[in-house]
Structures are given as C-alpha cells and as structure tokens.
Amino acid sequence: MRLKKTRNSVVRTSAILAALAVAVLTLPRSILRADGAHDSAASATLFRSKCAMCHGADGAGSEVGKSLNIPDLRSPAVQKLPNTELVEIVSNGKGGMPAFKNSLSAEQIHALVMHVRSLGRKK
C-alpha cells in the first residue's frame, strides 16, 4: 500500500517536472518571437523609431534625409545590394549613415534589413 502510494507520487512528480521542462524550453522562444526579430510589425516599429527620421517610414527619405543626399531605400541601387552588405552598412555605418552595431542586436539589424526588402517590394 505504502509502496504504491510512493510510486504514484513519484509518477506525479515526474509528470510535473516534465511539464515544467517543456514550459522552460518553450518560454524563451516565445519571448524571442515577441521581441520581434521575425515579426514584421515589430521591425516596422523599430524602423520607425531608429531609421525613419532620415529614411522616412516608406524608405523614400525624410526632409533630413534628403538634405543628407539619402538614397531611396526602395530603389534598385539599394535593393540590388546583397543582405550581407546591407547588414554591414547598418552595423558599421557609411557616409552620413550612423553605425548601429552598438545600439541594436544582430537579430534586430537582420530584421531591419528584411524590412528594407519589404519596402522595396511595396514600391
């Protein structure tokens, strides 16, 4: 009797532990997704807060951007550049374009490059 009870509680405890393990394993992934690396709404928000002051929300270039001779991000000249080069430019800057490697994560920069691509498709 006593033995059976112990075994039952061992079974119950391991079921709880298994459930906890699943929760712990899946939680960080859902947080990451909410953080927006692959979420286009989140990268659009990031673009608006970090880039639009110069590039405009649509990538065409704001008044400030135009005074800096900014290229239209939707143009073939920008869209023909490979992802690796766009990541490089956003990370390290170029001319009047500031570097973002110290203020954005690699995932955020990648998401912004994907957003620049989506602007190109919208034109």
DSSP-H helix ranges across 1-123: 2-35, 40-50, 52-55, 63-67, 76-79, 83-92, 106-122
> Is residue 70 close enough to count as binding ligand HEC by CB under 6 A?
yes
Q: Which of 48, 58, 60, 71 binds ligand HEC (CB under 6 A)?
A: 71
CA distance 18 to 110: 35
> Is residue 111 close enough to count as binding ligand HEC by CB under 6 A?
no
Q: Which of 12, 45, 96, 99 binds ligand HEC (CB under 6 A)?
A: 96
C-alpha distances (whole Å) from 122 to each of 93, 96, 110, 116, 119 are 25, 25, 19, 10, 5
Choices 11-19, 24-32, 33-41, 93-101 (CB under 6 A): range interacting with ligand HEC: 93-101
Q: Which of 39, 58, 91, 98 binds ligand HEC (CB under 6 A)?
A: 98
Q: Tell me, what amino acid is at 42? A: A
- 23 token code pair: 């929760």
> Is residue 116 close enough to count as binding ligand HEC by CB under 6 A?
yes
- The contact set with ligand HEC (CB under 6 A) reads 50-51, 53-55, 65, 68, 70-71, 73, 78, 86, 89-90, 94-98, 100, 112, 116
